[in-house]
Amino acid sequence: MFSKFTHTASKSLKIIIVGCGKVGHTLTEQLSKEGNNITVIEKNPTVVGDVDAQFDIITIHGNGASYSTLQEAGVEDCDLFIAVTGSDELNLLCCTIAKQFSKCAAIARVRTPDYSKEVGYLRDKLGLAMIINPELESAREMARILYLPTALQVSTFAHGQAEMIKFKIPEGNTLDNMTIANLGKHITHNILICGVERAGEVFIPSGAFTLKADDVVYFASKREEARKFLKNIGMFTKQVRNAMIVGGGLSAYYLANELLHTGIDVHILESSFERCNELSMLLPQAVVINSDATSQEGLLGAGIKDMEAFVPLTGIDEENILLTLFAKKVSKAKVITKVNRIHFTDVISDLDLGSVVYPKLITSEAIIAYARALRASRSSEIETLYHIFDSRAEAIEFKIKESSPVVGKELKDLPLKKDLLIAFINRKGKIIIPSGSDMIEVGDSVMIVTTHTGLNEIRDILKK
């Protein structure tokens, strides 16, 4: 699913990754493809052997909290240290030890709710570059989708002031057979179509591009304009009133908490009686049902037919997929499917699973954005990065810190690479959907959408 990355002249990073489970494996794959020098530390000898055979990296069988192991990995001249073991405490300890012997930037995965409430304190006191929580971040993405159920995906930029929305054009919709130029003339010029997928092919469209029914479309806009646009083209824009969540793990807790705070009724189905008691105390506003939700009778008895949203969050991808398909058969609920494994996207995209969320990719995107920022020059840095269209394109938000070849020139005069567009400019909190006469200024944030993967800095948008 990963495209070949094009590299810039910026230096490669020396990166140490402690823990090579699903997240560690994803990071190893993506960061090594971007030309970085990767060392993986892992306790499980079988995993070490598998990773060593798959990638051109250094692997060390050992404990990432041991100084001698970190010495062997070369921590003294490490640029970026990432701890993603299954233990929050071990991740924080590994980063703390690494920081004692190195000037590296350190990132820890921390998932426990108690720690998540203290992220700012922990990050500052331990001197970490980032603390990331895959379950919390994926819950926030799911919540954004349920606030706007027409969307297949909602990504935020400019500190929440701008959004990029993914949706599918239905049969008979007003956009069918409309050019993007006519959309701007007759419907709205306050949004920008950034990318279109049709029959498996991805397009970064020009104004002459004609939209068709069944196209999967990404558009960028100010947050308040997204709903207006979707309403104007006849799409449902009201948030769901209730949601059924299957499974009572961390993802379920975080999602339920997000939804309850916005007034959405939440029903949680969990098979463990002990966990049901815990959730009832943690989430007193939720309806927690002790039931085997993998049975059709359990789902029907819990009222799935009356739900406006259905989110299976078991730890097994196959169960989540089957539960989604059953929900679509017996209800009209908006469905979101959480998938942990990321190597079957071609198969998954052929199934009608509604919105699909990959927690591992959400984690890796945040870390890759940080790694690219470390590689870049001082003129710009990456603030936000999303892979779209199964990683065949990227949406990247750059902060313009210093003057560069893109600054002070009208956009129509910039020699932009093919298959690349500037989606918006954020200038002091004002979101600008740009025309050819607009210019990029120092201090702006600029969002780029392109099929050229691996851009590190804003000057990379220009032809060589």
Q: Are 221 and 165 in contact (CB under 8 A)?
A: yes
User: What does the pLDDT read at residue 153?
Assistant: 92
Amino acid at 62: G
d(CA 412, CA 304): 52
Cβ within 8 Å of residue 292, ≥6 positions away: 271, 298
d(CA 228, CA 230): 6
User: What does the pLDDT read at residue 346?
Assistant: 65
Q: Are 169 and 175 in contact (CB under 8 A)?
A: yes
Q: What's CA 316's distance to the chain center, in Å?
A: 20
Helix, strand or coil, per DSSP, at residue 267:
strand
Amino acid at 328: K
User: What does the pLDDT read at residue 12?
Assistant: 85
What is 321-342 written as a DSSP string? HHHHHHHHHH---EEEEE----
Domains of the chain as residue ranges with CATH: 14-132 (3.40.50.720), 157-232 (3.30.70.1450), 242-357 (3.40.50.720), 372-461 (3.30.70.1450)
Q: What's CA 248's distance to the chain center, in Å?
A: 22
d(CA 183, CA 368): 34
Amino acid at 421: L
Closest CA to 417 of 394, 392, 451, 444: 451
Closest CA to 140 of 167, 163, 124: 163
Per-residue pLDDT of the chain (464 residues), as tens digits, is 233 333 334 578 999 999 998 889 989 998 998 889 999 999 999 999 999 999 999 999 999 999 999 999 999 999 999 999 999 999 999 999 999 999 999 999 999 888 877 888 888 889 999 999 989 999 999 999 999 999 999 999 988 899 999 999 999 999 999 999 999 888 888 999 999 999 889 999 999 999 999 999 999 999 889 999 999 999 888 899 999 999 999 999 999 999 999 999 999 999 999 999 999 999 999 999 999 877 888 899 999 999 999 999 998 999 999 999 999 999 999 999 999 876 666 677 777 788 999 888 888 888 988 888 888 766 678 888 998 888 889 999 999 998 989 999 999 999 999 999 999 999 999 999 998 999 999 999 999 999 998 888 899 999 87
Q: Are 23 and 364 in contact (CB under 8 A)?
A: yes
Place of tokens 């003129």: 379
Q: 457 is written with which tokens?
A: 């800095």
CA distances 251 to 131, 166, 272, Å, are 17, 22, 16
The angle subtended at Cα 193 by Cα 192 and Cα 197, nearest 5°, is 165
Q: What is the CA radius of gyration of the chain?
A: 23
d(CA 212, CA 205): 13
Q: Are 255 and 139 in contact (CB under 8 A)?
A: yes
d(CA 313, CA 332): 19
Q: Are 83 and 66 in contact (CB under 8 A)?
A: no
d(CA 98, CA 394): 32
The angle subtended at Cα 111 by Cα 107 and Cα 113, nearest 5°, is 130
> How big, in percent rounded to 5, are the helix, strand and coil portions of the chain?
35, 25, 35
> Which neighbouring-strand residues pair with 402?
none
d(CA 271, CA 301): 14
Work out the burial of residue 200: count CB atoms within 10 Å of its CB; fewer than 13 is exposed, 13-18 middle, 19 or more buried: exposed
